[in-house]
Amino acid sequence: MNDYIEKFLSNCKKPFSEAKLAPQEIYTKPEFFEMEKSKVFLKDWFMVGRTGEFTDAGDYLAMNIIDHPVVIIKQDNGELRAFANVCLHRCSKLLDGKGNKKRITCSYHAWSYDINGQLIGVPYADQIPSFSREGKQLHEILCETWHGFVFVSINPDAVPLQERLQNFEKEIEDFKLDNFEDLYFEEYEFNCNWKILMENFNESYHLFQTHKNSAESGTPTKLVQTGSGDGLSYVVHYTPYAAGYEVPVYNSNVSDINRGRAVVAGALPNGLMAIQADSLWWMVLQPVDVNHVKVRWGTSFSPETIAAGNDTREVHEWIRQVNDEDKVSIEAVQQGANFQIDDIGMFHPLEAQVFQFQCYIANKVKQ
């Protein structure tokens, strides 16, 4: 095992008060990214988006889990199912992006499938001796929904999602996020390792500097509270509102404590969310390689916010500003990580969730 990996694993055995930052190599070495591919992303659940992206039967979303193309499709009965996005004939990828299909036809040799994944069309099938379409369908993978979020897993033996996230449930159940309306969707690409973006979202120590012209005024760094999380399926912290900044409560379900703060969480390994009584900002990370990550993100709003006629587009534009501010800082961290220093720095107490996330990665890669 490489020295930096041993150092990383050893560091994650320490209590947070004694831990140092992770070795920079975990953000820059292709071999570490390869370990994450096989031991994290192909084993655990992977957040892909929101149920509001699937309105009608045949609506689909195609994306990659690392280099594995998958597609999620809404069925006639309203269920979401996920399949390997790969033709049974010569393995061509079938679909790209988002859209609606009632018949999925491969662009290579025109083999076709219904939205249940069943093979329904094979050109010149009469020339194939003893061929039958019966029982042939796209390879199905696990797909579950949770509070309006959609998750998939390539691992057929993955722990059921509801069981995996049961500890997270208590943090967000009163928001009733499955009732939120998913209004806006965007995609970005960041020139950084995916973990740097994950870590950035899960600490608010940087608000006063990176977001001094945006988030700091409403949720100041001095009020930030670390959370517990379980470090196995989620991490969480809280950003209470400044005096006079309280969000009007357009959500009658929310507890008193959640009326005065945002709940900021990571659904490990790749889902992010900042939850307020009236709105939700979510992000899905799709690692491309050791230095690049694609991001799907969007905003959702409570039914009462929609009914009140609030300007949801203004909220979305404000969050885009926050994203743009983060992008500058995050990419600077990636650039700095390439200069590997033995005497690496320390954590601030407000970065407890960063260390918790790193311990999640350590536990996965050592298996």
Domains 3-45+163-365 and 47-153 share a fold: no
Query: Cβ neighbours of residue 310 under 8 Å, at least 6 residues apart?
Result: 250, 278, 301
Q: Which residue has the tokens 């008060």?
A: 17
Q: Where are the domains of the chain?
A: 3-45+163-365, 47-153
pLDDT in tens, 333-365: 999 998 887 777 889 999 999 999 999 999 999
| 227 contacts 238 by C-beta, under 8 angstroms | yes
pLDDT at residue 1, rounded to an integer: 65
Angle at 28 between CA 22 and CA 29, to 5 degrees: 100
Task: Report the SS3 class of residue 259.
Answer: helix
Q: Identify the pLDDT of residue 84.
A: 98
Residue that the structure tokens 């991490």 belong to:
235
Averaged pLDDT, 305-329 = 96
Tell me, what's the pLDDT at 246? 65
> What superfamily in CATH does domain 3-45+163-365 come from?
Naphthalene 1,2-dioxygenase Alpha Subunit; Chain A, domain 1 (3.90.380.10)
Kindly provide the residue ranges of all beta strands, DSSP E only, lying in 44-203, ordered along the sequence. 46-50, 59-65, 68-74, 80-84, 98-100, 103-105, 112-114, 119-121, 140-146, 149-153, 181-190
Residue 272 pLDDT exceeds 80: yes
Tell me the pLDDT tens digit for each residue of 166-186. Answer: 999 999 999 999 999 999 999
Instruction: Read off the tokens for 49.
Output: 């988006």
Q: Output the average pLDDT for the chain.
A: 95
User: Domain 47-153: which CATH class?
Assistant: mainly beta
CA angle 209, 228, 263 (to 5 degrees): 55
Residue 367 has pLDDT above 90, yes or no: no
Confidence of residue 2 (pLDDT cuts 50, 70, 90): confident
Q: What is the mean pLDDT of residues 226-245?
A: 93
Q: Which residue has the higher pLDDT, 341 or 309?
A: 309
Separation in Å, CA 124 to CA 13, 89, 119: 61, 13, 14
Given a cut of 90, whether residue 135 has pLDDT beyond it is no
Do residues 267 and 168 lie in contact, with contact meaning Cβ atoms separated by under 8 Å? yes
65: nearest Cα among 80, 83, 46: 46
